[in-house]
Structure formats: C-alpha cells, structure tokens
Amino acid sequence: MTIFPTATNAAYRGGRSALFILGFAIVATLIPACIHAFLPDGGANSIAGMGLDPDSPHGRRVIALMAWAGVTQLVWGLILLAILVRYRSLVPLALGLLTLERLAHGWHFWGPKGGDHHPPEAYATLLIIPLFAIGFMMSVRASKG
C-alpha cells in the first residue's frame, strides 16, 4: 500500500486489522464531536472540569470554541467513515494523519504549555497515539490474506 494512492476507491491491500483501528478512530472522533458540538457547555465544564460562567463573555467564547472543535471533529469523523466504507485506498493516509493529529494533541496536553489540568482526552490520547501508529504501519503493509 502507499500513503498517496493513484486512485481513490475501495481497493485496499493493507492489513485488515488497520480497518478496525480506523473504525475505532471514527467512533473516538464522532462521540467527542457530538459532545463538543451539542452539549450546552461543549463539555468544557461538564466533562473537562473547566469552570465556566456561560453568562460571561469569556465563558461564552470558550463554549463557542468547544462547539467549533466539535463540528470540526464531526466533519473529520464523517470523512473517516467515507474512507472506511468507500475509499479504502486512503486508509494509510487517514491513519497517518490521525497519528500526527494525536501527536500534536499529546504535545499540547502534556508539553510545556499544557499546564497541570488534564481533561479526560489528555489521558486517552496517550493510549491512542501508539494504537494509531500501529494501525498506520499495518495499513502500509500488504495483507497476507
């Protein structure tokens, strides 16, 4: 398999397990997307524990940013779903980009600017990074079966 296929279609010769990892990525993207997009506080306070006053301009701004992040995740999750269902030749590209995205998230959660407050996603990211990296490696290897 290649990261940049010459054709985008359902042709896929990478490891079958990588498809399950992409399926997991879809669920792990769409659930937080809906939380951020549709909870009244975008999950900022109710899940991440960021004390916000929704009646203050600052609080409304943060809640709006959480909703924006949710909509972005929702679109990304739908693209991943289209790749899994119809455009499987893009599985290596998707898993490679997911790995880079999670590495960037991990850096922002745990790096010098991360601070000492870590929402649940910060811990999940530590587990997801190696999973997506393994999925990427499996997706670029030709399947034996």
Instruction: Flag whether pLDDT at 145 surpasses 60.
Output: no
pLDDT at 1: 63
How does pLDDT run across 8-54, given as a tens digit for each residue? 877 888 888 999 999 999 999 899 888 888 888 888 888 877 777 76
pLDDT at 93: 94
How does pLDDT run across 73-132, given as a tens digit for each residue? 999 999 999 999 989 999 999 999 999 999 998 998 898 878 888 888 899 999 999 999
pLDDT at 9: 78
How does pLDDT run across 60-72, given as a tens digit for each residue? 888 888 888 889 9
pTM of the model: 0.74
Taken in order 89, 105, 58, 52, is the CA torsion positive or negative?
positive
